Copies of this chain bind each other. A is one copy, B any other.
Amino acid sequence: MLRMSTLLLRTLRDDPADAEVASHKLLVRAGYVRRIAAGIYSWLPLGYITFRNIEKIVREEMDSAGFQEVHFPALLPREPYERTKRWEEYGGSLFRLKDRRGNDMLLGPTHEEMFTLMIKGEFASYKDLPISIYQIQTKYRDEARPRSGIIRGREFVMKDSYSFDIDDDGLAKSYENHRNAYISLFDRLGLKYNIVSAVSGAMGGSRSEEFLAPCSTGEDTYVLCPKCGYAANVEAMVTKVPEYSGEPAPAMKVFDSPNTPTIDSLVELLNANHGGGFEGSHTLKNVLLMADGKAISILVPGDREVDLKRVEANLPGVEELRLFEDEDFKKFPGLVKGYVGPQDAKSQGITVYADPRIVKGSHWITGANIREKHVMYVTHGRDFEVDGFIEAAEVRAGDLCPECATPVVIDRAIEIGHIFQLGRKYAEALDLTVLDKDGKARVVTMGSYGVGVSRAVAAIAEQSHDEIGLIWPREVAPADVHIVATGKDDLPFDTAEKLANDLESKGMRVMLDDRRDASPGVKFKDAELIGNPFIVIVGKALVEGKVELRNRRSGEKVEVALDGAVEEIISVVTAN
Contacts and interface: CB of A to CB of B under 8 A. Distances in A.
B70 A100 contact: no
A92 interface: yes
A424 interface: no
A99 interface: yes
Contacts of A118: 8, 34, 42, 44
Interface residues of A, number: 55
Count copies of this chain in the complex. 2
Given A123-B10, A131-B6, A69 B45 contact: yes
Nearest to A98: B97
Contacts of A40: 73, 75-77
Interface stretch (A136-144, A302-310, A394-402): A136-144
A8 B41 contact: no
Report whether over half of chain A's contact residues are helix, strand or loop; otherwise say mixed. Answer: mixed
Interface in A109-127: 114, 118-119, 121-123, 127
B100 A8 contact: no
Contacts of A142: 99-100
Contact of A70 (B45, B70, B75, B92): B45
B73 A45 contact: no
A76 B37 contact: yes
A517 B97 CA distance: 46
A48 B69 contact: yes
Contacts of A41: 73
Contacts of A155: 73-75
18 contacts: A8-B131, A34-B121, A36-B77, A36-B114, A37-B73, A37-B105, A40-B73, A42-B70, A42-B71, A42-B73, A43-B70, A48-B69, A74-B138, A75-B107, A95-B105, A96-B97, A100-B142, A138-B138
Interface of A: 6-10, 31, 34, 36-37, 40-45, 48-49, 51, 66, 68-77, 92-93, 95-97, 99-100, 103, 105, 107, 114, 118-119, 121-123, 127, 131, 133, 138, 140, 142, 144, 154-155, 517
